[in-house]
């Protein structure tokens, strides 16, 4: 094959891991630094890049002493991969050397295709072709296969990743706005829930999520989405939501009739022509997964199982199979059910404490200072200080204890004579203990107890849920940036002995059947299909990949994102040994 033919059949992807294909075969791009050099050339495709800029991007603050020679070595390796049939003395036509530096001639790059589809959608929208614009944007966002430039680190790649992410979020905001105008809101809420977690600072995505939930008849969840936005923006930036979100919140509270959904568009829901669908950046030897159904609500139960078609070779990557099935000693039975609502996986509803319960508690505690003549005030205030973790109340408890000690000292020095002795200065020691501790202490105790017990004891469940969320965030960060460490910590494997808490995450690529059965949004039939599919077609690369291969899971998209770890195999395996 000549260099020109190779150039025509080469395809590249950066909207996910950096990958390349020649025809239907994926290419082995070599070591990590060589992939990084290719990524720099791809992000500046069809333009010359000086070797010094490649060194700065790939090696950041620790460049090699002979950086230009190292870049030349990796460029030579890329030429062998991209043009294997090129004669050693023949000039390269794919990766050329010009006066300005190295130039990679790229005809098919997913990032360029994405930008082209977005521009086409903007043009169609200006021409009042909302259906066509929605179709183009939907094709654009389907090109994303996870985090762009996955596995590459450094300031240059972080900047590029942020730029690509901004384009991704902007495209989704436009798509959500158009589909909401067309009345295609039924299947949009689950996708937006995931995107809000990925881009929490984008108020446009949050507004679209609120509107999609409201139009789906889920007003309470729409209001909860606003509270989440308010809490996030306040905690992270110390600001309130913008005017757009606040106005939408007030309109939802008032059930504004103008928010009533429009009639669904039949044109946009029709299946696009196969020739117009974007080429997936996956090996053509593997069958393309079925595209998600129309934007209407997906079924709440799995269709009858039938093995997925498999025309290519079986998966031959790193071993990623489950351990032999053995039911846990105290685990739940392997059973499924209809998927639960996403809200069921959130914090439990906070019940309202009984007013009688609160007042009785406050009265009983306030009676202790009175019945003990103030000697027990410091104990009650100290208990409430510990319960509330209040330094001010702890100081008050110490002060009440001091009054009690002063009273005891005064009592011990009294001379019991029949005649009435005159008052002396030492008698003033008794005043705080006789009057302040019992009466002021009773009022103080009553006020503290009344406000403290308005927070019922079962509020601990909310604290536990918050702790689990923190554990999940920590585990997901480790999984993203240190995948080998995640394997050592056995994140997502509750069936293995471990000491690290991951907040209930489950790795669908490795967990056995009975562990997957604990995910409330998976039925037994879905679990069976999921496990067979991962054996035939390889492990799932992301949540997007999981839902794309199993469209019926779209109903619980957000729940799967929170509770299921999706791991790309890296050649490492779990340690199934027991902890000593």
CA dist 423 and 95 (Å) reads 104
CA separation (Å) from 110 to 15, 20, 280, 548? 7, 10, 9, 18
**pLDDT tens profile 379-438:** 888 888 887 778 888 888 898 888 888 888 777 776 655 555 555 556 666 777 777 878
E strand or H helix at 529:
helix 524-537
DSSP 463-481: HHHHHHHHHHHHHHHHHHH
Instruction: Look up the CATH superfamily of 182-267.
Output: Tetratricopeptide repeat domain (1.25.40.10)
Q: Of 174 and 9, which is predicted with more confidence?
A: 174
Architecture of domain 1-176: Orthogonal Bundle (1.10)
Instruction: Provide the token pair at 294.
Output: 């129309």
Tokens of 208: 């679209």
pTM for the whole structure: 0.49
DSSP element (H, E) containing 180: helix 155-181
Instruction: Read off the tokens for 96.
Output: 């050329």
Q: How far apart are CA 176 and CA 182, in angstroms?
A: 10
Helices (H), 297-354: none
pLDDT digits (tens, 9 = 90+) for 509-542: 888 888 887 777 777 788 888 888 888 887 877 7
Q: Which residues contact 372 (CB under 8 A, 6 or more apart)?
A: 438
Q: Which residue has the tokens 């005043």?
A: 431
Ranges of each domain in the chain:
1-176, 182-267, 298-308+327-347+463-565, 355-415+424-455
Distance in angstroms (rounded) separating the CA atoms of residues 137 and 115: 10
Average pLDDT score over residue span 267-295: 40
Q: pLDDT digit string (tens) for 186-212?
A: 778 888 988 898 898 899 999 999 999
């Amino acid at each position: 094959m000549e260099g020109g033919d190779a150039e025509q059949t080469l395809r590249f992807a950066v909207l996910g891991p950096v990958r390349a294909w020649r025809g239907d075969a994926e290419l082995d791009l070599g070591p990590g630094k060589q992939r990084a050099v290719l990524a720099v050339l791809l992000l500046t495709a069809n333009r010359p890049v000086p070797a010094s800029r490649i060194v700065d991007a790939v090696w950041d603050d620790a460049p090699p002493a002979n950086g230009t020679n190292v870049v030349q070595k990796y460029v030579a390796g890329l030429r062998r991969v991209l043009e294997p049939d090129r004669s050693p003395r023949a000039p390269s036509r794919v990766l050329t050397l010009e006066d300005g530096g190295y130039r990679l001639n790229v005809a098919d790059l997913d990032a360029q295709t994405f930008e082209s589809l977005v521009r086409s959608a903007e043009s169609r929208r200006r021409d009042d072709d909302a259906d066509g614009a929605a179709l183009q944007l939907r094709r654009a966002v389907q090109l994303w296969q996870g985090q762009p430039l996955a596995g590459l680190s450094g300031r240059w790649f972080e900047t590029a990743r942020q730029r690509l992410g901004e384009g991704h979020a902007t495209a989704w905001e436009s798509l959500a706005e158009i589909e909401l105008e067309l009345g295609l809101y039924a299947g949009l809420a689950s996708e937006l829930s995931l995107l809000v977690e990925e881009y929490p600072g984008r108020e446009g995505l949050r507004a679209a999520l609120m509107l999609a939930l409201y139009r789906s008849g889920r007003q309470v969840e729409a209001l909860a989405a606003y509270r989440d936005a308010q809490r996030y923006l306040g905690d992270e930036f110390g600001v309130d939501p913008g005017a757009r979100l606040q106005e939408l919140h007030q309109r939802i509270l008032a059930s504004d009739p103008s928010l009533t959904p429009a009639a669904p568009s039949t044109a946009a829901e029709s299946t696009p022509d196969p020739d117009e669908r974007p080429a997936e950046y996956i090996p053509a030897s593997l069958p393309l997964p079925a595209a998600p159904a129309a934007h209407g609500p997906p079924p709440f139960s799995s269709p009858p199982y039938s093995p997925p078609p498999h025309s290519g070779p079986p998966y031959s990557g790193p071993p990623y199979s489950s351990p032999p099935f053995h039911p846990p000693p105290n685990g739940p039975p392997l059973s499924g059910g209809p998927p639960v609502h996403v809200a069921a996986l959130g914090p439990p509803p906070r019940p309202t404490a009984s007013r009688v319960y609160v007042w009785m508690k406050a009265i009983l505690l306030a009676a202790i200072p009175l019945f003990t003549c103030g000697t027990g005030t410091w104990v009650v205030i100290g208990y409430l200080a510990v319960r509330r973790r209040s330094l001010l109340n702890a100081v008050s408890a110490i002060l009440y204890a001091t009054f009690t000690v002063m009273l005891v000292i005064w009592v011990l020095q009294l001379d019991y004579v029949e005649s009435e002795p005159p008052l002396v200065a030492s008698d003033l020691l008794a005043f705080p203990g006789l009057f302040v501790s019992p009466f002021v202490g009773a009022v103080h105790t009553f006020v503290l107890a009344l406000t403290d017990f308005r927070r019922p004891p079962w509020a601990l469940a909310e604290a536990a849920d918050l702790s689990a969320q923190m554990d999940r965030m920590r585990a997901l960060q480790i999984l993203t940036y240190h995948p080998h460490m995640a394997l050592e910590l056995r994140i997502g494997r509750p069936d293995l002995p471990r000491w690290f808490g991951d907040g209930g995450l489950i790795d669908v690529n490795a967990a056995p059947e009975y562990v997957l059965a604990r995910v409330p949004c998976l039925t037994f039939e879905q679990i069976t299909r999921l496990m067979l599919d991962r054996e035939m077609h390889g492990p799932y690369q992301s949540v997007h990949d999981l839902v794309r291969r199993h469209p019926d899971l779209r109903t619980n998209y957000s729940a799967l994102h929170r509770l299921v770890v999706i791991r790309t195999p890296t050649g490492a395996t779990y340690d199934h040994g027991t902890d000593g």
